[in-house]
């Protein structure tokens, strides 16, 4: 049996767990980041609408509101340091009937209560001036100039890579199955038979957080997987819309939006449907009918464009109105639960908050001064230079001139780099999230065989344990 010893074990390598592991690894504490799947960022964090939210529509006074607006700033800065692509497209929330129009002043006030002062109410003419392809019948809107689009895959990978570079040990393919709480430490047993002994345990397991919470003796919440299905339209549709088109939010959530994507497409979605099955990330006929019906009204011209892909993600909705972040100093256990529809934006702020919670619970450790620079991530954004466009790069390394995936213009050099990176892909899907290969119009029909061959020849079996040379445990 393999055993690993550390100060802090973080369960779940989605955006939230990776951000926490990165933050804690910035101190002298020894950190292990444990993920049940074969890759980081393979849960909810890979399938969302990828909007960097200002937090204008959060419930004022909640922890979520604070975390989203702080997370917006932290992630914007981090994106600039690491090369995570972000486009400040802005958003317009559109009112389609008198009731929604009347709700706009209240939404503007709410934005201001959330610390966001830049919303403006505009009339229908101004809405159509910004969104000329919008369907008929819009009565007015609320502008949110700082809502942005971002690459959720790169966010997750950057945070996890940074955690490993700072000395954290990453264990993938290690689902935590049982725990033993002792007087001084807790031992986590994984399905692979590894025992991880930690002074403190952080539960950032997303959809699985309530099950782990129960292993610590709690029954304080239940996760309900709330499915969101989305349709991704071809890049030719991008000329139709350069802003995020938001509906007036309802009690069930943010509603169906139309948004440009960072990869140059346009998306329509998500749905919002409570399920029982926490693995039900398939799409459905009913979901598409619903979205097409909405899309027909929102932007009829979009429906004439070709669909590139469809996907679904599961929000970890809980029976509690806010994030649930609570420390148990006796068991040295911290729950980070209910991060349902804003965790991409809020992740780094949650990590900062967790640092303070751990310090007040007795686990204070000052930040190190010898931290490595944040990783420089490969650019997946359509609006920024990609390797195939850079003559000097190609002259220095011809692999960046050999395009393998023609829809997304991904080169052999990028696939090689991904396979040799700090956290290499474990699967073809992981390679897609690191390069965009097979993510385009043909959905791997033309490039799939070559990408697979390159992946197999370049990648050795990825280690389930990743640590940097100076990693402690």
Ligand X SMILES: Cc1cc2nc3c(=O)[nH]c(=O)nc-3n(C[C@H](O)[C@H](O)[C@H](O)COP(=O)(O)OP(=O)(O)OC[C@H]3O[C@@H](n4cnc5c(N)ncnc54)[C@H](O)[C@@H]3O)c2cc1C
Name beta bridge partners: 122.
Answer: 141
Q: How many residues contact ligand X, by CB under 6 A?
A: 40
Query: Apex CA 241: angle with CA 235 and CA 246, to 5°?
Result: 120
The residues with which 310 forms a beta bridge, in sequence order, are: 231
Residue spans of alpha helices (H) in 171-244: 209-215
197, 261, 342, 379: which one binds ligand X (CB under 6 A): 342
Specify the DSSP class assigned to residue 240. G
Near ligand X in 250-289, by CB under 6 A: 270
Residue closer to ligand X, measured from CB, 30 or 53: 53
Q: Does 338 bind ligand X (CB under 6 A)?
A: no
The interface mask with ligand X, positions 345-364, x = CB under 6 A, is x-------------------
**Contact code string over 159-198 relative to ligand X, x by CB under 6 A:** ----------------xx----------------------
- 257 versus 407: smaller Cβ distance to ligand X: 257
CB of 68 to ligand X, least distance (A): 7
- Beta pairing class for 333-337 and 195-203: parallel
330 by Cβ neighbours in 10 Å (0-12 / 13-18 / 19+) ranks as exposed
Query: 83: Cβ–Cβ under 8 A, 6 or more apart, which residues?
Result: 154, 376, 377, 378, 379
Tokens of 173: 């393919």
Position 76 contacts ligand X (CB under 6 A): no
Q: Percent helix, strand and coil across the chain, each rounded to 5? A: 35, 25, 40
Nearer to ligand X, 319 or 453 (CB): 319
How many C-beta atoms surround the C-beta of residue 392 within 10 A?
A: 8
What x-and-dash track marks residues 26-65 binding ligand X by CB under 6 A? --------xxxx----xxxx--xxxx-x------------
Query: Closest separation between CB of residue 169 and ligand X, Å?
Result: 14
Closer to ligand X by Cβ: residue 348 or 454: 348
Q: Give strand ranges (E) for 56-206.
A: 86-87, 91-95, 120-123, 140-144, 148-150, 169-171, 176-181, 186-190, 195-203
Is residue 393 at the binding interface for ligand X, with CB under 6 A as the rule? no
Q: Tell which one of 82, 100, 185, 341 touches ligand X (CB under 6 A).
A: 341
Q: Which is nearer to ligand X, 71 or 413 (CB)?
A: 71
Of 55, 228, 295, 425, the residue at the interface with ligand X (CB under 6 A) is: 228
Site for ligand X, rule CB under 6 A: 11-17, 34-37, 42-45, 48-51, 53, 175-176, 204-208, 212, 228, 270, 313-315, 339-345
């Amino acid at each position: 049996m393999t055993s690993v010893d550390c100060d802090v074990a973080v369960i779940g390598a989605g955006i939230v767990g990776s951000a926490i592991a990165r933050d804690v690894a910035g101190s002298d504490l020894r950190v292990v980041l444990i993920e049940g799947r074969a890759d980081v960022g393979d849960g909810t964090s890979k399938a969302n609408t990828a909007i960097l939210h200002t937090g204008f529509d959060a419930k004022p006074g909640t922890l979520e509101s604070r975390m989203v607006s702080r997370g917006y700033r932290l992630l914007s800065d981090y994106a600039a340091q690491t090369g995570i692509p972000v486009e400040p497209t802005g958003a317009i929330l559109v009112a389609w009937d008198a009731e929604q129009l009347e709700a706009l002043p209240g939404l503007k006030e709410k934005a201001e209560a959330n610390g966001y002062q830049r919303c403006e109410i505009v009339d229908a003419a101004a809405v159509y001036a910004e969104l000329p392809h919008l369907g008929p019948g819009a009565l007015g809107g609320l502008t949110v100039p700082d809502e942005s689009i971002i690459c959720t895959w790169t966010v997750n990978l950057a945070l996890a890579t940074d955690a490993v570079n700072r000395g954290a040990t990453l264990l993938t393919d290690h689902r935590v199955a049982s725990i033993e709480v002792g007087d001084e430490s807790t031992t986590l047993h994984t399905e692979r038979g590894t025992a991880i002994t930690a002074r403190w345990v952080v539960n950032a397991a997303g959809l699985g957080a309530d099950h782990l919470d129960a292993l610590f003796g709690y029954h304080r919440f239940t996760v309900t997987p709330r499915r969101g299905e989305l349709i991704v339209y071809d890049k030719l549709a991008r000329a139709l819309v350069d802003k995020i088109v938001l509906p007036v939010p309802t009690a069930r959530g943010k509603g169906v939006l139309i948004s440009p994507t960072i990869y140059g497409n346009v998306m329509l979605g998500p749905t919002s449907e409570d399920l029982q099955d926490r693995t039900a990330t398939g799409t459905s006929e009913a979901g598409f009918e619903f979205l097409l019906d909405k899309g027909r009204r929102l932007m009829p011209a979009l429906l004439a464009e070709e669909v590139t892909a469809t996907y679904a993600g599961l929000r970890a909705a809980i029976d509690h109105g806010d994030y649930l972040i609570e420390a148990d100093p006796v068991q040295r256990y911290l729950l980070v639960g209910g991060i349902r529809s804003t965790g991409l934006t809020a992740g780094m702020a949650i990590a900062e908050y967790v640092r303070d919670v751990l310090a007040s619970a007795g686990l204070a450790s000052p930040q190190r001064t010898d931290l490595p620079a944040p990783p420089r991530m490969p650019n997946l954004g359509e609006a920024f230079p990609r390797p195939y466009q850079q003559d000097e790069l190609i002259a220095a390394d011809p692999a960046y001139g050999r395009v393998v995936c023609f829809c997304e213009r991904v080169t052999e050099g990028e696939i090689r780099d991904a396979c040799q990176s700090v956290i290499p892909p474990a699967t073809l899907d992981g390679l897609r999230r690191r390069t965009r290969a097979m993510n385009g119009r043909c959905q791997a029909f033309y490039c799939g065989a070559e990408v697979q061959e390159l992946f197999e020849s370049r990648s050795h079996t990825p280690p389930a344990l990743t640590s940097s040379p100076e990693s402690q445990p």
